[in-house]
Amino acid sequence: MSKAKTICFALMDPPFEASRTTTALRAIDAALRLGVNVNVFAYEGAVMLPFRHQQPHSNPVHGRDTQEEDHPLPREWVAGLIRTASERGLNFEWVNCGMCVDERGAGDAIDGILRGAPADLWRLASASDNTLIVPTA
């Protein structure tokens, strides 16, 4: 890919519920690895992906403490994507739908997450070369 493209992703699913959260975040990670700028519009449950208060836990069934369990947290994946984009000099904009945030009390997101309106999806899509809708599972 010679010239940096921009791809917009619209996500819907909440964390810890569906495989497609991991698959979609893998696709976003791939975009950054391939030198593509990324816009993300998080709609409905997906606004919980960067929720600051997600916490890892121990797992007595596995016989592991919190550190050994090393539970993945979507907020850390999102933070990692923001960091990766910055390291590679790529643009990365993540907008949480504000009304969806209010419904869920999800206002306390990690640094770098913007609050927006539904019209922001159109703004992000219009500023992108292509858009992928990742609907709810």
Partner 1 sequence: MRELLIVETRDAAEHRGPERMVELAAGMVRVGVPATIFLTENAAFAARHRPDGLAASAIAAGVAVAVDRFALHERAIGETELESGVEPSSIDIVVEHLAVGNCVMWR
Partner 2 sequence: MKMLTIVSSGYRATIEEQDDTIVWLTHCLRNAGADTDMLLLGAAANYPVSGQSIIPVCIGGREQRHSPEIHSQVAAFASNGSKVMVLSNDLEDRSIDRRRLLQQVVVVDSSDLPELLSAYDQVWHW
- Residues interacting with partner 1, by CB under 8 A? 1, 5, 7, 19-20, 23-24, 26-27, 30-31, 33-34, 36, 129-130, 132-135, 137
Among residues 43, 51, 77, 92, which is the contact residue for partner 2, using CB under 8 A?
43
Our CB check for partner 1 shows the closer of 31 and 109 to be 31
Our CB check for partner 1 shows the closer of 3 and 57 to be 3
Count H helices, E strands: the chain? Answer: 5, 5
Residue 7: which of partner 1, partner 2, none does it interact with, CB under 5 to 8 A by kind? partner 1
Burial state string for 102-124 with b = 16 or more CB within 10 A and e = fewer than 16: eeeebeebbebbebbeeebbebb
CA torsion, ordered 30, 71, 19, 129, to nearest 10 deg: -30
Helices (H), the chain: 19-33, 66-69, 74-87, 98-104, 119-126
Among residues 5, 52, 104, 123, which is the contact residue for partner 2, using CB under 8 A?
123
**Count of CB atoms situated within 10 Å of the CB of 132:** 15
Residue 43: which of partner 2, partner 1, none does it interact with, CB under 5 to 8 A by kind? partner 2
By the rule CB under 8 A, 130 interacts with partner 2:
yes
Positions that interact with partner 2 (CB under 8 A): 10, 12, 43-44, 117-119, 121-123, 126, 130-131, 133, 135-136
